[in-house]
Structure 1
Amino acid sequence: MSVYKLAAQLMQDNLATAQAQGFNEQELAKALMNEVIAVYRRERSISDIAHELHFLAENLDEDADYAFMRP
C-alpha cells in the first residue's frame, strides 16, 4: 500500500470516528491540517511549509496542469 492510500484510508476511518462523536468532516479536516503543520514544524522551516501550502493552494484544480508543466 502506498503512503497516499494509507493516508486516504486513515482519513476515511477518522471521518467515521469524528462523525460518531458529532464532528463534521470540515472540522476534522481543519484539526488534522493543524496537526500536519505541527509535524512539519518539527523538521521544516516556516517558509518551506508556507511554500508547500502555497503550491498546494495554487494547484487545487485537478483538471488544470501544474504551473511548472510544459504543454
Structure 2
Amino acid sequence: MGMHEWARQEIRQSLAQAAAEGLEQGLALRALLSAVVECSRERREAADLAAELQFLADNLDDERDYSFMRP
C-alpha cells in the first residue's frame, strides 16, 4: 500500500468513527485538516507548509487546465 492510499484509508476510518459518534462529516474533515496542519507545523518550516497548502488550494479545480500540462 502506498502512502497516499494509507492516508485515504485512515481518513475513511476516522470519518466512519465520527459518523458513529454523531459528528457531522464536514466538521470532522475540518478538524482533521487542522490537526494535520498542527502536527506538520511541528516538523516543517511554516513557509514550506504554507507553500504546500497554497499549491493544494490553487489546484482544487479538477476541470482547470494548467500551463505546465501538455494536451
Fold shared by both chains (TM-score > 0.5): yes
**Aligned-pair CA distance for 1:70:** 4.2
Distance 1:39 1:14 in 2: 17
Stretches of structure 1 that go unaligned for 5 or more consecutive residues are none
TM-aligned CA deviation for residue 19 of structure 1 = 0.6
Identity %: 36
- Provide the aligned C-alpha RMSD in A: 1.5
| Contact 1:15–1:28 (CA under 8 A) maintained in structure 2 | yes
In structure 2, give the amino acid aligned to 1:13.
Q
> What does residue 50 of structure 1 align with?
50
Structure 2, gaps ≥5 residues long: none
**How far apart are the structure 1 equivalents of 2:33 and 2:53?**
11
CA distance in 2, matches of 1:50, 1:2: 24
Q: 2:16: which partner in 1?
A: 16
Task: Point out 4+ residue stretches in structure 1 off by more than 3 angstroms.
Answer: none
CA distance in 2, matches of 1:55, 1:29: 19
Tell me which residue corresponds to 2:4.
Answer: 4
Partner of 1:61: 61
How many residue pairs are counted as aligned between the two chains?
70
What's the TM-score once normalised by structure 1's chain length?
A: 0.84
